[in-house]
Structure formats: structure tokens, C-alpha cells
A and B are shown apart, each in its own frame.
Chain A
Amino acid sequence: MKREDFPILKNDLIYFDNGATTLKPQVVVDSMIDYYTNYTANAHRGDYDNSLKVDMKYEEVRTKVKNFIHAKSEREIIFTSGATDSLNRIVFGYMKTHLKQGDEVLITKAEHASNVLPWLELEKEIGIVVRYIPLENHLVTMENVEKSITEKVKVISLAHVTNVLGDIRPIAEIGKLCQEKNILLVVDGAQSVPHRKVDVEELEIDFLAFSAHKMLGPTGVGVLYGKENLLEEMKPLEFGGGMNASFASSGEVEYKSLPSRLEAGTPPIAEVIGMGAAIDYLEEIGMDQIHRYEIELKKYFLEKAKEVDKLVIYNPDIESGLIAFNIDGVFSQDTAVYLNHYHICVRAGNHCAKILKEDLFVKNTCRISFYFYNTKEEIDQLITVLKNAKDLFQIVLS
């Protein structure tokens, strides 16, 4: 990895908001420009060279994704517009026809909005019951998962890594338990797939959702992984070109097989190709290496943070590249505005996990989320700025 691969870093910028989206290396941008400049054509259509090339490139990415998350077959990989889209398809394309009134779905209060709101809508629509696994000091424990399971629980749907505190859920153990109890396990991988090795087979995941833009790729594309037998029964939420095999005015319709059946319309071709370039880039560095380095950055930050007065850190013990903090007595947004003055990007707010505040007793935090291109020197600069925070209101109010 070279920082030079990221043109934006040539600017005077310290980017610590990787939980929101990541920066893009030039190779990702180039791969998309190449498609738009040199071989634009639709996928799965014409019999000419460029169209064939697009087909190959597009389907190559499916294989890359399959290998990246260790799925069994390309038929288990559906391209979507992002993790939110993937989760909505799981809920409304599969669960809506496979769950019935009174069936229970377990989530937690620390989930992102896109793993809460679709379930709450389905609750209104068909009368499933959404229940919350109690958090133990903000964390999911096996004990509480086991205690929450009743005869009626049909689905457990959890973020692998949460976007507020960065805690890692024991997905492998939960996966095993779900297999034994015949419960479906849905995993929101938006914050885990970009940062660590995620193996759907090893973790016994039934459905996985993630977005390309949080892992060096472009916006507007993501992945829905589902076990083949489950996706076979998933109802498309969109109907149109590319997904039908034949139809007639009599109303007789035949849809294509997986994965095309679940990808109606012209897909985001350039974005899929960009995602493929991003996966290549990540695999060259190695996911384990990325994970280790982010933990190292956090340890370094925590050590340095001891030098700063009034810094409250909410998740020091959680091993990931994410830090939730406040300057004591300062509203999180004011801290973010202050850091922005020094071109340091952090996120302030409740991070789309609006019900977590019921448990955390802190409504808003500042969030630092590292990626592998961040450095200890950047952390040093952040610490210096935080040490000088007595000037904070001078800057915020000017």
C-alpha cells in the first residue's frame, strides 16, 4: 500500500471518517474511466466485442466477490445498490414471504437504521415481532443471545461490527447456534467486510449485506450474499429487463435463474468494475494485515490520548479501528467543527443508530474510524490539536 495511490491525500487532509465512506485509490477510479472511455456497452446484450468484454469484466467481479467472502458459487452473489438495498431485499424479498404473524426477529439497539427500519416495517405489514437482544455493557454476549431465543425466533439479524462503537459480534458462535436451532442468520457486514476477513462458510452466515464504497470502491453498488437455496426462493423486488427469460401477453412469465433473476435493469456496470478493482487492491494488502494495523493505530491513539485532558473515550477496550469520544463538556458537533478547521475529518452525531442512546446514555459522540492508509503521524497531529482545545470556541464561534 502506498499513500500515493490515493490522490486526495496529496491535499492537506487527515481523513478519519472511514466508517462513513473510504477514499478511493487511483486504480479504482481508472478502472471505471477505462470502461466509460474505452469499452462502453451494456452487459448481457449484444454480440459484439465490447459487449462481450463488459460481460466478462462484470462477471469476473462476481467471482472476485465470491472468493473474497468465500461463498460456494457465483449464484450466491447478487449486485445491489449497497448494504441498505441488500438488507431491504432480504427483508421484503425473502422474509416477507417466509415469516408469518407472531414469528420473532432478534436484533439489538445498536444496529444501524438499515437493520432496524425494514424489520419495523415488516412488523407493521405482516405482524412479525421485533425483539432486542439485551446488550451487556453495549456488547452482544452469547449468554444474552441464548437467553433471547424462544420457539418463535426465526431470524437473528446483526451487524458483524457496529458503526458506533466498533465492537465485533461473536458471529461464528451465533452462526453455529442458529444452525442448531434452525434460525436464519442475517449479517450486516458494512463495517466488517472492508476491515477484516469475512468467510461466510466459516461463520455460517445465511445472508450477508455490504457496500463497495466503504471498502475503496465507488458509491451505488453493494453485495447481497445469500445461500443458494435461500436466494432461489427470494422474490425479486424489481421486475423488468435482464431478469426475465420469456413473457407473453397471456401473462405467462418465466424468469431467469440466479443471479440474473435478482438483477433487473441495466446494472451499475462501471461501479461493479470499480468494486472489482477495490477487491484486488485490498487482497494485495491482505485483510488480516489491514485488521492488525487498524488495531495498532487504535492502541497508539489510546496511548497518546492519555496526554489530553478532558477526553472521554467510550470504547477503549474494543479491538477495532474505531474510537467514540467526546471532549468533556463540548457538544460533539462543535468538536467536529473545530477539528475541521485543521482539516481533520471526523463524524459527529448518533451515527444512524438512534435507539442506542437509550442504552449508552450519551446521545452524540465524535467518531474516529481508521483505515489502512491512516498513519501514526496523523494521530500525532490530531492529539496536538486536541491538546489545544482550549481554543475550541475561538474557532467554532468565529
Chain B
Amino acid sequence: MDPALKRQILLEHYQNPSHHGLVENRDYIKINTNNESCIDNLDIMYKIEDGKIADIRFDGEACAISTSATSIMIDTFLGKTLEEASEILENYENMLNEKEYDEKLLGDLKLYCDISKQPNRKKCAYLPFESFKKVLESQRRNG
């Protein structure tokens, strides 16, 4: 993709992210996700209904990469089943770790395909997905 266009999309997601703002609702699973660099700090909340991701909301302070990745992750995950989403997660991880992945599954998450060249930013691009992993774990625990 044209680098300028790519930046344009990421910037749009950073400045006007999807589903920004938390809600007061007990049907959501809320996860705080702190980057190990101790600076990015996002709250992400998930509503899971019948094994599907019905809604995701988020708020907090984070860098442009983390924030845009959260916004794009939300757009990509909404309406997917947990199985579909975890397959996306797996492919996204593979992309960040420079392994083989199925780019058709990733949609706009592909925009981070070059991030592995900047190891210090990889964590930022992965930040929202850490929270989703915790959601998967809690779902597994609760059967």
C-alpha cells in the first residue's frame, strides 16, 4: 500500500477512533492493559453474547500506534465469533513475529505489517490484543 495512504488511515483511527468511551454496564468484561513500558494505559471492555463479540469500547491514554491498533482491532472484531477473532489474533501475532500469516483474515490490521522492523513499537501494536487474550482466557475458564 502507498505509505502516505497507510499513514492517513492510521492517523484517522488515532484521531477519531472507533468505539471510544466506556459504558457503565455489567454485561461487559473490562480489562486494563498496561504496556510493559509503563506508559500506555487503556481500558478496553468487551460484550460477548452467544459466543460472539457484540460490542467493544475503550478509553485511556496511549500512543498513536496503540490507539489506532485498538480502533482497528475493534472494527475487525465486531460481530465475529470468539473462534474467528482468535484466529485473527493468531495471524496478527504471526505477522508481528515475521512468521507466515493469512493476510486475507486481517483486513486493515495488515497496516502494521512493517512494525516488526521497529521492535520498540511492536508492543504498542500488540497492546489491545493482550486484553483480548485475557477475554479469551476468562471465557475458557467460565466454560
Residue positions of A touching B, CB distance < 8 A: 331-334, 337, 348-350, 354, 363-364, 393-394, 396-398
Residue B1 CB within 8 A of the other chain: no
Q: Main SS of chain A's interface residues?
A: mixed
Per-residue interface assignment for chain B, residues 39 to 59, with 1 indicating a CB less than 8 Å from any chain A CB and 0 otherwise:
111000000000000000000
* B118 shortest CB reach to chain A, Å: 9
The A/B interface has a contact count, at CB < 8 Å, of 45
Asked if residues A397 and B64 are in contact (CB atoms below 8 Å), the reply is: yes
- Give Cα A350–Cα B39 distance, bound, in whole angstroms: 7
Asked if residues B121 and A337 are in contact (CB atoms below 8 Å), the reply is: yes
Asked if residues B38 and A393 are in contact (CB atoms below 8 Å), the reply is: no
Q: With A337-B121, A398-B3 as given contacts, are A393 and B39 in contact (CB-CB < 8 Å)?
A: no
- Give Cα A332–Cα B39 distance, bound, in whole angstroms: 9
B62 contacts across to A, CB distance below 8 A: 331
Partner pick for A349 among B3, B7, B14, B38, CB 8 A cutoff: B38
Asked if residues A348 and B65 are in contact (CB atoms below 8 Å), the reply is: no
* B89 shortest CB reach to chain A, Å: 22
B68 contacts across to A, CB distance below 8 A: 397
Q: Main SS of chain B's interface residues?
A: helix
- Give Cα A393–Cα B63 distance, bound, in whole angstroms: 11
Asked if residues B40 and A393 are in contact (CB atoms below 8 Å), the reply is: no
- Give Cα A297–Cα B62 distance, bound, in whole angstroms: 31
| Chain B residues numbered 56-94 whose CB sits less than 8 Å from any CB in chain A | 61-65, 67-68
- Give Cα A363–Cα B60 distance, bound, in whole angstroms: 11
- Give Cα A251–Cα B85 distance, bound, in whole angstroms: 63
Interface size on B, residues (CB 8 A): 21
Asked if residues B63 and A333 are in contact (CB atoms below 8 Å), the reply is: yes
Residue B105 CB within 8 A of the other chain: no
- Which 7 pairs of residues, A with B, have the shortest CB-CB distance? A333-B63, A349-B39, A397-B10, A397-B7, A331-B63, A334-B63, A334-B64
* B59 shortest CB reach to chain A, Å: 13
Residue B25 CB within 8 A of the other chain: no
A334 contacts across to B, CB distance below 8 A: 63-64
A393 contacts across to B, CB distance below 8 A: 7, 11, 14, 64
Residue B37 CB within 8 A of the other chain: yes
Q: With A333-B39, A337-B121, A350-B39 as given contacts, are A363 and B61 in contact (CB-CB < 8 Å)?
A: yes
- Give Cα A334–Cα B61 distance, bound, in whole angstroms: 12
Among residues of B, the one whose C-beta sits closest to the C-beta of A362 is: B61
Residue contacts A-B, CB under 8 angstroms, 7 given:
A337-B121, A348-B39, A354-B38, A363-B41, A364-B61, A397-B6, A397-B11
Asked if residues B37 and A349 are in contact (CB atoms below 8 Å), the reply is: yes
A332 contacts across to B, CB distance below 8 A: 39
- Give Cα A392–Cα B75 distance, bound, in whole angstroms: 25
Partner pick for B61 among A331, A354, A396, CB 8 A cutoff: A331
**Residue from A331, A354, A398 whose CB has the most chain B CB atoms within 10 Å:** A331
A350 contacts across to B, CB distance below 8 A: 38-39
**Residue from A334, A354, A363, A397 whose CB has the most chain B CB atoms within 10 Å:** A397
- Give Cα A333–Cα B125 distance, bound, in whole angstroms: 13
- Give Cα A354–Cα B38 distance, bound, in whole angstroms: 10
A354 contacts across to B, CB distance below 8 A: 38
